[in-house]
Amino acid sequence: MKATEARTYAHPDVLVATSWVATNLENPKVRIIESNEDTLLYSSGHIPGAVHVDWTNDLNDSVRRDYIRKAGFESLMSRIGVTADTTVVFYGDKNNWWACYAFWVFQLFGHTRAKVMDGGRVKWERERRMLTREVRQYPETQYKVQERDDSVNRAFRDEVLKHTELKLPLVDVRSVDEYTGKRLHMPDYPNEGALRGGHIPGAKHIPWSRAINPETGAFRSADELNQIYLEENRLNPDEKIIAYCRIGERSSHTWFVLKYLLGFKNVKNYDGSWTEWGNLVDVPIEK
């Protein structure tokens, strides 16, 4: 039994162990993708054969605050040598924040053959597995996709406002200082800050990091996650839930946990998150 299966997740196949990745490095139907917050990391050494997908340069629209559209995604997939039949496996730093973010964006385009490597980059490194600086080039592919569909996994501002009016559950995954409004932004770096601090009314505070075993960097077992999200915080897997953070990267991690590890039926990531809500005129805020 795979190590991840022993933890009885709702969709265990979406999570793979480092050992699985190690034995599939040369599998032509698998493409390992590294996505990090620290853009230096991939170049400093990566899993052999892994390609780099940078969330700023590869997934974001260069002008509008939005993600790439059909043409951009097709171009990206072509460049990294992926077809509709390729299973992409994401990993990265910060316990897979950005890997989950990239995974989430790929779901907006319906590439469901996607997995996350449990434990991310740090687990691979701690296990002293091989890293290389060699950048492998893959033959370009012809990748065709439908236009991006945000309806299932992405929440926008108006939907969030209605969600609060209906008193439906929200999950704020930020730090306690951000949730309480004590911290608005990093000193001297207001680019990702907000004019107002606090949280969206009714949002439960469940920091993203609670889903991770701090000793291994791997996701906690389903029992442990159930305890945190269902028992302690009384989230209902049948209810519509929206997760948010500052720009949607930490909340995509929680979206992944709720949807794939715990099997919640209707979870969306509000990527506008606090950088939008905290700057939005005349929306309710709690402290």
| Matching residue, tokens 């999200």 | 229
Distances (CA, A) of 123 to 118, 120, 238: 8, 6, 33
Active site residue 100: no
**Total residues found in the chain within this entry:** 287
Nearer residue to another protein within complex by CB, 10 or 122: 122
Shortest approach of another protein to residue 119 CB, angstroms? Answer: 12
Closest alpha carbon to 89 in 77, 103, 78, 101: 103
Specify the DSSP class assigned to residue 147: P
Smallest gap from residue 280 Cβ to another protein (A): 19
Shortest separation between residue 227's beta carbon and another protein, angstroms: 26
Least distance in angstroms from the C-beta of 67 to another protein: 17
Crossing angle, helix 249-256 and helix 97-108, to 10 degrees? 80
The CB density around residue 28, as the number of other CB atoms within 10 Å, is 10
What does the alpha-carbon distance between residue 252 and residue 272 come to, in Å, rounded to a whole number?
Answer: 12
The encoded tokens of residue 171 equal 């999950």
Of 206, 215, 222, 217, nearest in space to 264 by CA: 222
Q: Would you tell me which residues interact with another protein (CB under 8 A)?
A: 37-41, 43-44, 93-94, 121-122, 125-126, 185-189, 191-192, 246
Amino acid present at 158 = D
**How many whole angstroms separate alpha carbon 207 and alpha carbon 216?**
18
Which member of 105, 114, 245, 261 is catalytic? 245
Greatest extent of the chain over all pairs of C-alpha atoms, in Å: 54
**What tokens were used for 201?**
């009314």
**Cβ 147 to another protein, closest distance in Å?**
29
Catalogue the active-site residues.
245
